[in-house]
Amino acid sequence: MTVTFRDVLRAWPIVHRYLRPTPLYRYPLLSARLGFDAFVKHENHLPIGAFKVRGGVNLFANLSDAERRKGIITATRGSHGLSMAWAARTFGSRAVIYVPKRNNPEKNALMEAMGADLNVHGRDFDEAMAEAGARAENDDLRFVHVANDPLLIAGVGTYALEIGEDLPDVDVIIVPVGGGSGLAGVVLTMRAIRPDVEIIAVQAERAAPMVASLRSGEPETVESADTFADGLATKQTFEIPFGIVKGQVDDVVTVSEDEMKEGVRTALETTHNVAEGAAAAAYAAAEKLKGRLAGKRVVLVHTGQNIDRDTLRWALGLFDAYA
């Protein structure tokens, strides 16, 4: 299975038939703090509050009639499941979704409110995904991997095309990375339309398989993914995204839990937008790299806003929920 820039171009009219382009704003206070022109790509303004719905729309639009009647099955920590649930409802289909125990309760409730068949299984995402894969075979459902799917990657790549349209002279894009579909979409698009743009990947220190893989040149697996940024909480590097981004990313950086916690505060203070942990990683990376990015036009991809109430209160210092 391969994905090319042509696939992103094919996804463009499909995605925009259902979703409006998201805004790209320059924020004066954020720019002043960081010492460069800081633009934020607001993927949190999409209907599910996260970028992944672009991939969901593209996937469901390309299912056969028989697949759409039966529905899909997948596993998630949150935003991918929200994408599948929203797209399934939009296309009159069905989404069977597996989540691990102790998953974000607010994301679970939203998936169910969208009509998803929600199932709780396993200690972590990997165990939930294995169970979903087994049931896909038993029930003859289309299994949708969280990132290892060309249709998802092509769909999410449309946000990079929007960046290219709205800010053609962009210098740098900072991309939070979980499974890698978003980073793969940015690489496919920018290397085609602006090959000189610097692409920076950021992961949580406690869950950084893609960073390890990009540094070693081979797919890596880490032992744990213990981070409050559930959108980044994966232990594996997935084959298709890694094949796309290998050798195409200019810098990789990891950020700590405290740095992402501060990133939540920074987003709220400087943009008045709520950032989930994964999105906060972009702000944390920008702070970490601001010395060498001085004077440049930098896009921070605000990947999502789906942080639960208790985690948000903790990040803002209102109580020690994670002490």
Q: What angle do CA 152, 111, 13 make, to 5 degrees?
A: 35
Q: Do 92 and 237 reside in the same domain of the chain?
A: no
Q: What is the pLDDT of residue 106?
A: 87
Residue 194 lies in a domain: yes
Quote the crossing angle between the two packed helices 5-18 and 181-193, to the nearest 10°. 110
Q: Do 301 and 185 reside in the same domain of the chain?
A: yes
Q: Do 107 and 233 reside in the same domain of the chain?
A: no
CATH of the domain at 101: 3.40.50.1100
171 CA to centre of own chain: 21
Residue 323 lies in a domain: no
Residue 320 lies in a domain: no
Q: Do 84 and 224 reside in the same domain of the chain?
A: no
Residue 188 lies in a domain: yes
Q: Do 222 and 195 reside in the same domain of the chain?
A: yes
Amino acid type, 177: V
Residues 6+ apart with CB under 8 A from 41: 22, 24, 159, 162, 163, 299, 300, 301, 302
CA distance linking residue 131 with residue 101, whole number of Å: 13
Q: Do 91 and 155 reside in the same domain of the chain?
A: no
Number of domains in the chain: 2
Q: What is the pLDDT of residue 93?
A: 97
Q: Do 258 and 132 reside in the same domain of the chain?
A: no
Q: What is the pLDDT of residue 319?
A: 67
Q: Do 142 and 172 reside in the same domain of the chain?
A: no
Residue 245's domain comprises 5-51+151-315
Q: What is the pLDDT of residue 132?
A: 96
Amino acid type, 62: N
- The burial of 127, by beta-carbon neighbours within 10 Å (0-12 exposed, 13-18 middle, 19 or more buried), is given as middle
Residue 322 lies in a domain: no
**Where among 103, 127, 147 does a domain terminate?**
147
**Where among 91, 122, 147 does a domain terminate?**
147
Q: Do 215 and 274 reside in the same domain of the chain?
A: yes
Q: Give the residues across from 176 on adjacent strands.
A: 202
Q: Do 143 and 167 reside in the same domain of the chain?
A: no
Q: What is the pLDDT of residue 164?
A: 98
CA-wise closest residue to 24 among 172, 196, 162:
162
Backbone angles phi, psi at 129, to 5 degrees: -65, -40
Residue 206 lies in a domain: yes
3-state secondary structure of 23: coil
Q: Do 164 and 183 reside in the same domain of the chain?
A: yes
pLDDT in tens, the chain (323 residues): 689 999 999 999 999 999 999 999 999 999 999 999 999 999 999 999 999 999 999 999 999 999 999 999 999 988 999 999 999 999 999 999 999 998 888 889 999 999 999 999 999 888 999 999 999 999 999 999 999 999 999 999 999 999 999 999 999 999 999 999 999 999 999 999 999 999 999 999 999 999 999 989 999 999 888 899 988 988 889 999 999 999 999 999 999 999 999 999 999 999 999 999 999 999 999 999 999 999 999 999 999 999 999 999 999 988 655 54
Residue 226 lies in a domain: yes
**Where among 112, 147, 182 does a domain terminate?**
147
Write the DSSP string, 59-78.
HHHTS-HHHHHH-EEEE-SS
Which alpha helices (DSSP H) does the chain contain, by range? 5-18, 28-34, 53-61, 65-70, 79-90, 105-113, 125-139, 150-156, 158-166, 181-193, 209-216, 239-245, 257-271, 277-289, 309-315
pTM: 0.95
Q: Do 171 and 138 reside in the same domain of the chain?
A: no
